[in-house]
Structure 1
Amino acid sequence: MWKPDRTSNRPLYQQIASYIEQRISFGEMPPGSSLPSERKLAQQLGVNRSTVMQAYENLRAAGMIESLTGSGTRVCRGESGVAPKQTPNWNRYVESGTFLPNLPLLRRIREALQSGVPLVNFAGGELAPELAPSDAIADIMREHPFRETLSYGDPQGFVPLRVALTSFLLEQRHIQATDESILVTSGSQQSLYLITQCLLNPGDAVAIEQPSYGYSLQMFQSAGIRLFGLPVDEDGVHPDGIRALHKQHRIRMVFLNPNYQNPTGTVMGAERRIEVLACCEELGIPIVEDDPFSLTAMEDAPPPSLKSLDRNGTVLYIGSLSKVAASGLRIGWMVAPHTVIRRLADARQQMDFGLSIFPQWIASRLLESSSFAPHLARLRAALRTRRDSMAAALHRKLPGEISFELPRGGLNLWCRINGDVNDSSLLESGIKNGVVFMPGSVFGAEAGFIRLSYARLPLEEIEMGIDKLAQALCRTSAT
Structure 2
Amino acid sequence: MDWKPNRYEEKPLYKQITDYMKRKIERGEWGYDTKIPSQRYLASWFNVNRSTIVSALQNLIAEGYVEGEYGGGTKVTYGKWEKQSPLPNWTAYIEKGSHYPNQPFIQKINQYEFEKDLIRLGTGELSADLLPKKLFQQLMSSADETDFHLGYSEPKGDVQLREAISKRLREKGIYTTPSSILIVSGALQAIQLLSLSLLERSARILVERPSYLYSVNALQSAGIKLIGIERSMNKPLSIEKVEQLKNRFDLSLFYVNPTFHNPTGALMGEDERKALVENSIRMGLPIIEDSAYEDLWIDEKPPLPLKSYDKSGQVLYLGTMSKLVSPGLRIGWVVGQEGVIERLADTKMQTDYGSSTVSQYVARRWMLSEKYEEHGAYVRKMLKKRRDFMQFLLECYFSHLATWTIPKGGFYIWVVFHFPLNFDKLFKKGVEKGILIAPGHIYDRLDRTSLRLSYSYASLEEMDKGLRILAELIEKEVLMQKKENKL
TM over 0.5: yes
Query: What is the CA deviation profile of residues 400-434 of structure 1, one whole-angstrom value per residue up to 9, with x for unaligned ones?
Result: 21211110000111101122312222222222221
Q: Contact 2:126–2:323 at 8 Å: present in 1 too?
A: yes
Aligned to 1:190: 189
Q: Contact 1:235–1:272 at 8 Å: present in 2 too?
A: no
Distance 2:41 2:364 in 1: 53
Aligned to 1:231: 230
Deviation at 1:150, TM superposition (A): 1.4
Aligned to 1:309: 309
Distance 1:346 1:450 in 2: 39
Match of 1:208, SS state, is strand
Deviation at 1:205, TM superposition (A): 1.0
Q: Contact 1:236–1:266 at 8 Å: present in 2 too?
A: no
2:357 is the alignment partner of 1:357: yes
Q: Contact 2:191–2:219 at 8 Å: present in 1 too?
A: no
Q: Name the CA shift for 1:425/1:384 in 2 (closer, same or farther; >3 Å).
A: same
Distance 2:400 2:80 in 1: 64
Aligned to 1:468: 469
Distance 1:197 1:237 in 2: 28
Aligned partner of 1:197: which letter? L
Q: Name the CA shift for 1:209/1:50 in 2 (closer, same or farther; >3 Å).
A: farther
Give the 5 Å matches for 1:208-227.
Answer: 208-227=207-226
2:89 is the alignment partner of 1:92: no
Distance 2:325 2:381 in 1: 14
Give the 5 Å matches for 1:35-46.
Answer: 42=39
Aligned partner of 2:216: which letter? L
Q: What percent identity do the matched residue pairs reach?
A: 31
Give the 5 Å matches for 1:73-472.
Answer: 76-77=78-79, 83-114=83-114, 116=115, 118-147=117-146, 148-171=148-171, 173-233=172-232, 234-444=234-444, 446-472=447-473
Distance 2:44 2:80 in 1: 32
Distance 2:300 2:159 in 1: 33
Distance 1:177 1:86 in 2: 58
Q: Contact 2:269–2:303 at 8 Å: present in 1 too?
A: no
Q: Contact 2:265–2:407 at 8 Å: present in 1 too?
A: yes
Distance 2:76 2:269 in 1: 63
Aligned partner of 1:130: which letter? D
Aligned partner of 2:465: which letter? M
Aligned to 1:18: none
Query: What is the CA deviation profile of residues 218-256 of structure 1, one whole-angstrom value per residue up to 9, with x for unaligned ones?
Result: 122111111111123424422111100011111010000
Deviation at 1:77, TM superposition (A): 4.5
Unaligned runs of 5+ in 1: 1-37, 67-72
Query: What is the CA deviation profile of residues 318-354 of structure 1, one whole-angstrom value per residue up to 9, with x for unaligned ones?
Result: 0101111110111100001111111010010011111
Q: Name the CA shift for 1:240/1:93 in 2 (closer, same or farther; >3 Å).
A: same
Distance 2:388 2:255 in 1: 30
Q: Which has the larger displacement, 360-369 or 389-398?
A: 389-398
Unaligned runs of 5+ in 2: 1-35, 67-74, 481-487
Give the 5 Å matches for 1:45-60.
Answer: 48-49=45-46
Q: Contact 1:209–1:237 at 8 Å: present in 2 too?
A: no
Distance 2:236 2:327 in 1: 27
Match of 1:218, SS state, is coil
Aligned partner of 1:194: which letter? L
Distance 1:477 1:332 in 2: 43
Q: Contact 2:324–2:379 at 8 Å: present in 1 too?
A: yes
Distance 2:336 2:47 in 1: 44
Distance 2:392 2:41 in 1: 41
Q: Name the CA shift for 1:473/1:87 in 2 (closer, same or farther; >3 Å).
A: same
How many correspondences in the alignment? 425
Match of 1:295, SS state, is coil
Aligned partner of 2:191: which letter? L
Deviation at 1:146, TM superposition (A): 4.2
Aligned partner of 1:462: which letter? M
Q: Name the CA shift for 1:467/1:160 in 2 (closer, same or farther; >3 Å).
A: same
Q: Name the CA shift for 1:398/1:190 in 2 (closer, same or farther; >3 Å).
A: same
Deviation at 1:272, TM superposition (A): 1.4
